[in-house]
């Protein structure tokens, strides 16, 4: 859930992410003007996000410096740590990863945002039926799909994930792929992207749930065999 830690781990592994800064509450409270001046180096527009939250709760798109401080304060209502992130112009591509040895990656889907907020906000996700639509599968080339699958799998491995995850990417017009975030507890309803992507990849919901149960049991057996105490000879 920690977007700051996630982004640092991905960045250090050479996986592209949007430029970002992390703000702690005590630093912002001590000198909000100085913090905002530092964040402006990312350029506008930018996004403010609670580091630990989901469903775009607390996220705002900031067009200019006059609303940045208020957006940061809003994000601090939901967490003690906030990330400020440069906007990325690109298509929002999502892939589902299923753990195992080896882990596998689904085909890609695309989120097409049509909401006045201008991004995949909470309102666009949950309150406006026409706020966004899904392109299933995403209309990308085989080469773009292969690259996106590779980035999704690498992200899953770098972040030490198991079981399942949905990896959300940006595909820029120049072909560059950046990781937006990884969701390790993705939505799992009949209309959610994760099971829909696996259905498109040839796996029924029943097969998917069965596979996830098998992975959990395998993990339990593996961890049950680990030592829990140490006695010297």
Q: Place domain 7-86 in its CATH homologous superfamily.
A: ATP-grasp fold, A domain (3.30.1490.20)
The residues with which 193 forms a beta bridge, in sequence order, are none
Per-residue pLDDT 10s for the chain (233 aa) are 899 999 999 999 999 999 999 999 999 999 999 999 999 999 999 999 999 988 889 999 999 999 999 999 999 999 999 999 999 999 999 999 999 999 999 999 999 988 888 888 888 888 888 888 999 999 999 999 999 999 999 999 999 999 999 999 999 999 999 999 999 999 898 889 999 999 999 999 999 999 999 999 999 999 998 988 877 65
In which residue ranges of the chain is CATH 3.30.1490.20 found? 7-86
Residue intervals of the chain classified under CATH 3.30.470.20 are 91-223
The DSSP secondary-structure symbol of 137 reads: S
- Can you say how many angstroms the Cα of residue 127 is from the centroid of all Cα atoms in its chain? 21
**Closest Cα partner for 49 from 169, 181, 165, 166?**
181
Give the residue among 123, 139, 132 at the shortest CA–CA distance from 171. 139
Give pLDDT, residue 228: 81
Give, as one character, the DSSP assignment of residue 159: T
What is the rounded CA–CA span in Å between residue 116 and residue 10? 31
- In 3D, which of 92, 73, 79 has the Cα closest to residue 183? 92
Residue 211 Cα distances to 10, 32, 161, 215, 217, angstroms: 27, 49, 16, 6, 10
DSSP 3-state assignment of 160? coil
For residues 20 and 203, give the distance between their C-alpha atoms in angstroms, rounded to a whole number.
37
CATH fit for domain 91-223, picks 3.40.190.10, 3.30.470.20, 3.40.50.300, 3.30.1370.10 = 3.30.470.20
Note the pLDDT of residue 232: 67
């Amino acid at each position: 859930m920690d977007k700051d830690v996630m982004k640092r781990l991905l960045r250090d592994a050479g996986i592209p992410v949007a430029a970002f800064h992390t703000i702690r509450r005590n630093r912002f409270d001590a000198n909000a003007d100085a913090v905002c001046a530092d964040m402006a180096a990312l350029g506008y527009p930018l996004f403010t996000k609670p580091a630990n939250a989901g469903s775009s709760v607390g996220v705002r798109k900031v067009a200019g410096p006059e609303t940045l401080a208020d957006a940061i304060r809003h994000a601090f209502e939901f967490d003690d740590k906030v990330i400020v992130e440069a906007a990325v112009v690109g298509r929002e591509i999502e892939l589902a990863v299923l753990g195992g040895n080896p882990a596998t990656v689904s085909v890609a889907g695309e989120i097409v945002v049509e909401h006045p907020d201008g991004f995949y906000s909470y309102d666009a996700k949950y309150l406006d039926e026409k706020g966004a639509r899904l392109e299933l599968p995403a209309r990308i080339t085989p080469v773009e799909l292969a690259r996106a699958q590779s980035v999704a799998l690498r992200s899953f491995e770098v972040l030490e994930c198991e079981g399942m995850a949905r990896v959300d990417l940006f595909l820029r017009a120049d072909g560059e792929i950046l990781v937006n975030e990884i969701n390790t507890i993705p939505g799992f309803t009949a209309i959610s992207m994760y099971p829909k992507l696996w259905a498109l990849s040839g796996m029924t919901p029943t097969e998917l749930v069965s596979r996830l149960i098998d992975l959990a049991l395998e993990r339990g057996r593996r961890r049950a065999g680990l030592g829990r105490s140490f006695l010297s000879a």
